[in-house]
C-alpha cells in the first residue's frame, strides 16, 4: 500500500539515498505559485517518507518515473550525474501524424519563454543547444507512439522538438496545431484528457553503491487505454 493517501502504487524504489516514484498526471512536481494550497508531489512525499530533495522535474500533465534524493549528499551526486548527462531518460509520446522516418535525431536550439504564450521556441541565435533522439514504436493511421530520448534537459524540450518536426503530442494545448489541441473525437482517444507524454524509464548510478540502475514506470490507465483505443481503431479487418 502506498504511504501517500489517494495515490496507490506510487513508489517504484526506496533506499537511504533514493526515492523513485511513478508520478501521476495532473500532480505538479513542485508547489504551484498560482495554487499554493494545492497538493504537489514533493510535498506529499516529504510527509510520507521524510525530507526529499528535487533532482529533476516533470510537467504537471506528464506521468511517469521521477527520482528524488533522500540526503544532501545523494542530491549533490545525482545533480552532477544529470548535469554531466550520465543519467538517461526515455519518454513515450503519443503524437498526431505519421512520421515518414523510423528514427530521427532533432538538433535544434531552444529558448524558453520565447513568445507571448511563454512557450519554448526554436532560436538559432539565442537558443541553448538541445538534442532529442526519436524512434517510432507503433503507427495507428494518423497517429503514432514515439520513443523520445532527450540528450539535453531544456524546458519543454520534447514537446517543442516534436512540434517543430510537425508531430505534436496528442492533447498538447500549448504546442499543438489549432485543430489538434484537444483530445476526444478529434484524436480518437476519449480516455486521455491530458498531454500524451509518459516518462517511461530513468537510469543513473545509485549514490549508495555506484551501481547503475534502471527504473521503469508502467503506463497509467488513461495512457494505456488511449493506446488500446488507437490500436483497435487501426487493426486490419
Q: Which positions are annotated as active-site residues?
A: 59
Q: Alpha helices, DSSP H only, in 149-198?
A: 157-165
User: SS3 breakdown of the chain: % helix, strand, coil, rounded to 5?
Assistant: 20, 30, 50
CA pair distance 19, 186, nearest whole angstrom: 38
Q: What angle do CA 195, 199, 202 make, to 5 degrees?
A: 165
Determine how many CB atoms are found less than 10 A away from the CB of residue 171: 24
The backbone torsions φ and ψ at residue 44, rounded to the nearest 5 degrees and listed phi first, read -60, -40
| Burial grade of 125 (CB within 10 A; 0-12, 13-18, 19 or more) | exposed
For 144, the enclosing helix (H) or strand (E) is strand 143-150
Q: Alpha helices, DSSP H only, in 136-220?
A: 157-165
Q: All 3 cell numbers of residue 227?
A: 493506446
| C-alpha torsion sign, points 15, 80, 71, 91 | negative
Amino acid at each position: 500500500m502506498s504511504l501517500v493517501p489517494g495515490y496507490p502504487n506510487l513508489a517504484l524504489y526506496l533506499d537511504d539515498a533514493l526515492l523513485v516514484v511513478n508520478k501521476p498526471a495532473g500532480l505538479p512536481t513542485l508547489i504551484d505559485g498560482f495554487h499554493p494550497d494545492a497538493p504537489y508531489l514533493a510535498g506529499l512525499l516529504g510527509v510520507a517518507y521524510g525530507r526529499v530533495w528535487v533532482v529533476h522535474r516533470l510537467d504537471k500533465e506528464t506521468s511517469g518515473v521521477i527520482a528524488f534524493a533522500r540526503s544532501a549528499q545523494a542530491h549533490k551526486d545525482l545533480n552532477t550525474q544529470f548535469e554531466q548527462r550520465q543519467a538517461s531518460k526515455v519518454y513515450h509520446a503519443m503524437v498526431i501524424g505519421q512520421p515518414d522516418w523510423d528514427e530521427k535525431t532533432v538538433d535544434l536550439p531552444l529558448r524558453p519563454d520565447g513568445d507571448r504564450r511563454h512557450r519554448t521556441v526554436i532560436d538559432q541565435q539565442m537558443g541553448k543547444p538541445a538534442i532529442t533522439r526519436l524512434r517510432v514504436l507503433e503507427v495507428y493511421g494518423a497517429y503514432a507512439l514515439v520513443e523520445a530520448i532527450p540528450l539535453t534537459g531544456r524546458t519543454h524540450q520534447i514537446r517543442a522538438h516534436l512540434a517543430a518536426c510537425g508531430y505534436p503530442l496528442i492533447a498538447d494545448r500549448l504546442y499543438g496545431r489549432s485543430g489538434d489541441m484537444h483530445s476526444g473525437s478529434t484524436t480518437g482517444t476519449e480516455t486521455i484528457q491530458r498531454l500524451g507524454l509518459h516518462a517511461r524509464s530513468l537510469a543513473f548510478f545509485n549514490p549508495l553503491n555506484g551501481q547503475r540502475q534502471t527504473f521503469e514506470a508502467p503506463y497509467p490507465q488513461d495512457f494505456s487505454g488511449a493506446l488500446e483505443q488507437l490500436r483497435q481503431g487501426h487493426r486490419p479487418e
